[in-house]
Amino acid sequence: MSIIFSRQCEYAIQAVLYLALKPDKNMISIRELTKQLDIPYHFVAKILQDLTRKGLLVSHKGPAGGFGLGMKAKDITLLQIVEAIDGVSFMNNCVFGFPNCTDEDHCAVHDQWGKIRTKIHEMLANKNILEMAAETKKVQYHSGKQ
Amino acid sequence: MSIIFSRQCEYAIQAVLYLALKPDKNMISIRELTKQLDIPYHFVAKILQDLTRKGLLVSHKGPAGGFGLGMKAKDITLLQIVEAIDGVSFMNNCVFGFPNCTDEDHCAVHDQWGKIRTKIHEMLANKNILEMAAETKKVQYHSGKQ
DNA sequence: TTTTTTTAAGACTAAATTATCCGATATAAA
DNA sequence: TTTATATCGGATAATTTAGTCTTAAAAAAA
């Protein structure tokens, strides 16, 4: 089983995107968000709290409380979310875990993987949540009932 | 924490490469292999047994027994090892786990990730163990004592 | 034939990740 | 002021992945 990003990271991105897709200025509760996205309430609650501590989201307690974006959607990139949750150690580590794999003295796929890795980094850094939302709006939640 | 391949898969590739780098026709014991590569004996034993069942390696019990390549080094690709251990589900799944992410109706990074994923697949499919060994020989085990 | 060496197989343990539960705190509204 | 609704924080449980241990079986050599 190969993965790229942790499940936490997947949920984080889905959640931030969900907040960006909500047109109104009201805060969104964990309950609504996790129900609509069909992801686990308590687990995601922790992730949202984490993103709030790191400034990507804002939160408010009490009735009519919830979460919202901590900055303009166009100022939040995928990279920022990945950095906040998973970190970007994949940018430094050998893809097959070879020891002694450095830029001078390296494994046989080092350069090839280096290029791919750079592409991934660009994808994350260049895609902001506003674009994500715009491109997702039409396709994502059309089967959602109220 | 982001990863691409499981630790099992990393060890598998390192082990197969070690076998390919051994010039002689003798079989290599788990003990030697794991000691030289500094990876866990029992865990790797299981992986080698798995690769043997799948035909990538051959094994022989008893004194002077051990493991060897199950086919010519040039006929073993990285992809075959990854397929045997991790599978290639990353070729099909949405990189951020979005549900409803299909070719027709997809998330905002679907196409971009699709290209990257293809590059990864090419890297794995086009690199065989003979090449790996040739490119690794000079740089990998130069600090090995015995 | 006995001993030694090695893989084979399965049970077991440890650690990391994912997920849940509960009590406290803040806050808006009744 | 009381009540209901949220997040916050810490403990706990479940699952998956990583790693260990022990016994059996095969095979070569003594």
Q: Is residue A32 part of a domain?
A: yes
Q: Sign (positive/negative) of CA torsion B17, B135, A4, A97? A: positive
Tell me if A127 and B109 make a contact (CB, 8 A cut-off): yes
Q: Is residue B1 part of a domain?
A: no
Q: Provide the pLDDT for residue B137.
A: 62
Tell me if B10 and A97 make a contact (CB, 8 A cut-off): yes
Min mean pLDDT across A14-28, A52-66, A110-124, A125-139 is at: A125-139
Determine the structural domain holding residue B26 and report its residue range.
7-142
For residue range A77-86, list pLDDT tens digits in order. 999 999 999 9
Residue A143: pLDDT above 70? no
Residue B6: pLDDT above 90? yes
- Mean pLDDT, residues B58-74 taken together: 96
Q: Is residue B49 part of a domain?
A: yes
Tell me if A98 and B5 make a contact (CB, 8 A cut-off): no
Q: Is the ipTM of this complex over 0.85?
A: yes
- Report yes or no: B96 at the A interface, CB cutoff 8 Å: yes
More confident residue, B145 or B5: B5
Q: In whole angstroms, give the CA distance from residue B11 to residue B63.
A: 24
Domain CATH code at residue A116:
1.10.10.10
Min mean pLDDT across A111-115, B6-10, B20-24, B65-69 is at: B20-24
Q: Hunting for tokens 């990945």 — which residue is that?
A: A82
Q: Hunting for tokens 């094994």 — which residue is that?
A: B59
This prediction's pTM: 0.91
Q: Is residue B2 part of a domain?
A: no
Count the neighbouring beta carbons within 10 Å of the beta carbon of residue B60. Answer: 11
Q: Is residue A2 part of a domain?
A: no
User: Chain B residues with CB inside 8 Å of A100's CB?
Assistant: 139-140, 143
Total domains in chain B come to 1
Q: Which strand (E) or helix (H) includes residue A98?
A: none
Closest approach of B100 to chain A, Cα-based (Å): 7
**Which residue does chain A place closest to B5, by CA atoms?**
A2
CA of A6 to C1' of D21 (A): 31
Q: Is residue A136 part of a domain?
A: yes
For residue range A35-69, list pLDDT tens digits in order. 999 999 999 999 999 999 999 999 999 999 999 99
Tell me if B95 and A140 make a contact (CB, 8 A cut-off): no
Q: What angle do CA B137, B138, B139 make, to 5 degrees?
A: 95
Among the partner-chain residues A14, A88, A106, the one whose CB lies closest to the CB of B96 is A14
- Mean pLDDT, residues B98-125 taken together: 91
More confident residue, A35 or B25: A35
Q: Provide the pLDDT for residue B105.
A: 77
Closest CA to A84 of A2, A13, A15: A13
Q: Is residue A78 part of a domain?
A: yes
User: Chain B residues with CB inside 8 Å of A4's CB?
Assistant: 2-4, 90, 95
Q: Is residue A1 part of a domain?
A: no
Question: Is residue B13 a contact partner of residue A107, using CB atoms and an 8 Å limit?
Answer: no
User: Chain B residues with CB inside 8 Å of A10's CB?
Assistant: 96-97
- Side chain identity, residue A118: T
| SS3 track for chain B | CCCCCCHHHHHHHHHHHHHHHCCCCCCECHHHHHHHHCCCHHHHHHHHHHHHHCCCEEEECCCCCEEEECCCHHHCEHHHHHHHHCCCHHHCCCCCCCCCCCCCCCCCCHHHHHHHHHHHHHHHHHCEHHHHHHHHHCCCCCCCCC
DSSP A103: S
